[in-house]
Amino acid sequence: MTDKTLQKTNYGALSTLTTVFFFWGFIAAGNSVFIPFCKSYFNLDQFQSQLIDFAFYGAYYLGALGLFIFGTSTGKDLVGSWGYKKSIVYGLLFSALGAGAMIISVYLNMFTGMLIGLFIVALGFSLQQTAANPFMISLGDESTGASRINLGGGVNSLGTTIGPLIVSLALFGTTASLTDEMIQALSLTKVIILYACVGALFIGVAALFGFSKKVPEGKTEDKATSNSINDSRLIDDVAHDVNSSENSIKAKKILLVITGLLIICFSPVFYSYKSGLDWTNVQAEQVRIIGWTGGLIVTIIGLLYSYFKGAKEKTGWGAMQYPQLSLGMLAIFVYVGVEVAIGSNLGELLKQPEFGGYESSQIAPFVAMFWGSLMIGRWTGAISAFNLKDGTKKILRFIVPLIAFGIVLLVSKLAGYEVAPLYWYIVCVLVQIAAFYISQDKPAKTLAIYGTLGVVAMLVGLLTTGMVAVYAFLSAGLFCSIMWPCIFSLSLAGLGKYQTQGSAFLVMMILGGAIIPPLQGKLSDVIGIQPSFIVGVVCFAYLAFFAWFVGKTLKKQGVDFE
Q: Tell which wins on pLDDT, 339 or 46.
A: 339
Q: What is the pLDDT of residue 232?
A: 33
Q: What is the pLDDT of residue 177?
A: 52
Rounded Cα distance between 322 and 318, Å, is 8
Rounded Cα distance between 423 and 383, Å, is 25
Rounded Cα distance between 47 and 517, Å, is 12
Average pLDDT over residues 233-246: 37
Element (H, E) at 451: helix 443-463
Neighbour count for residue 5 (Cβ, 10 Å): 6
Average pLDDT over residues 175-199: 67
Q: Tell which wins on pLDDT, 430 or 378.
A: 430
Concatenating the DSSP letter of every residue in 332-395 gives HHHHHHHHHHHHHHHHHHHTSGGGT---GGGSHHHHHHHHHHHHHHHHHHGGGGS---HHHHHH
Q: What is the pLDDT of residue 155?
A: 80
Query: What percentage of the chain exceeds 90 in pLDDT?
Result: 23
Average pLDDT over residues 195-216: 84
The answer to whether residue 190 scores a pLDDT higher than 80 is: no
pLDDT digits (tens, 9 = 90+) for 392-423: 888 998 999 999 999 989 988 887 778 889 99
Q: What is the pLDDT of residue 411?
A: 84
Q: What is the pLDDT of residue 97?
A: 94
Q: What is the pLDDT of residue 364?
A: 73
Q: What is the pLDDT of residue 186?
A: 59
The answer to whether residue 200 scores a pLDDT higher than 80 is: yes
Q: What is the pLDDT of residue 542?
A: 96
Secondary structure letter of residue 93 according to DSSP:
H
Average pLDDT over residues 232-260: 61
The answer to whether residue 250 scores a pLDDT higher than 50 is: yes
**Residues ≥6 apart with Cβ < 8 Å to 297:** none
SS3 517: helix
Q: What is the pLDDT of residue 278?
A: 46
Residue 498's pLDDT band, with cuts at 50, 70 and 90, is confident
Rounded Cα distance between 444 and 238, Å, is 28
Residue 198's pLDDT band, with cuts at 50, 70 and 90, is confident
Rounded Cα distance between 426 and 429, Å, is 5
Amino acid letter for position 75: G
Rounded Cα distance between 414 and 355, Å, is 25
pLDDT digits (tens, 9 = 90+) for 461-482: 999 999 999 999 999 999 998 8
Among 2-11, 31-40, 67-76, 236-245, name the most confident range. 67-76
Rounded Cα distance between 470 and 540, Å, is 18
Secondary structure letter of residue 32 according to DSSP:
H
Among 212-226, 241-255, 258-272, name the most confident range. 258-272
Average pLDDT over residues 161-187: 61
Q: Tell which wins on pLDDT, 325 or 50.
A: 325
Rounded Cα distance between 288 and 274, Å, is 13
Q: What is the pLDDT of residue 279?
A: 45
Mean pLDDT estimate for the chain: 79
Rounded Cα distance between 309 and 331, Å, is 18
Please choose, from the candidates 482, 454, 497, 505, the residue with its C-alpha nearest in 3D space to the C-alpha of residue 385. 482
Residue 508's pLDDT band, with cuts at 50, 70 and 90, is confident
Neighbour count for residue 158 (Cβ, 10 Å): 22
Residue 227's pLDDT band, with cuts at 50, 70 and 90, is very low
The answer to whether residue 136 scores a pLDDT higher than 60 is: yes
pTM metric for this prediction: 0.79
Lowest mean pLDDT among 65-74, 122-131, 331-340: 65-74
Are 62 and 69 contacting, i.e. CB atoms less than 8 angstroms apart?
no
Q: What is the pLDDT of residue 299?
A: 92
Neighbour count for residue 2 (Cβ, 10 Å): 4
pLDDT digits (tens, 9 = 90+) for 151-163: 777 788 778 777 7
Q: What is the pLDDT of residue 2?
A: 45
Are 521 and 344 contacting, i.e. CB atoms less than 8 angstroms apart?
yes
Q: How far is CA 537 from CA 198, 201, 467, 470, in A?
A: 37, 39, 19, 15
Rounded Cα distance between 139 and 6, Å, is 12
Q: What is the pLDDT of residue 13?
A: 76
Residues in the chain: 562
Rounded Cα distance between 348 and 371, Å, is 16
Are 220 and 502 contacting, i.e. CB atoms less than 8 angstroms apart?
no
Please choose, from the candidates 203, 260, 224, the residue with its C-alpha nearest in 3D space to the C-alpha of residue 502. 224
End-to-end CA distance of the chain: 10
Q: What is the pLDDT of residue 182?
A: 56
Are 512 and 337 contacting, i.e. CB atoms less than 8 angstroms apart?
yes
The answer to whether residue 3 scores a pLDDT higher than 50 is: no
Q: What is the pLDDT of residue 222?
A: 45
Q: What is the pLDDT of residue 428?
A: 93
Average pLDDT over residues 515-521: 83
The answer to whether residue 233 scores a pLDDT higher than 50 is: no
Average pLDDT over residues 360-389: 80
Chain centroid offset of residue 386 CA: 24
Are 114 and 105 contacting, i.e. CB atoms less than 8 angstroms apart?
yes
Burial class (CB in 10 A: 0-12, 13-18, 19+), 47: middle
Please choose, from the candidates 520, 519, 536, the residue with its C-alpha nearest in 3D space to the C-alpha of residue 472. 536
Average pLDDT over residues 124-142: 80
The answer to whether residue 37 scores a pLDDT higher than 70 is: no
**Residues ≥6 apart with Cβ < 8 Å to 281:** none
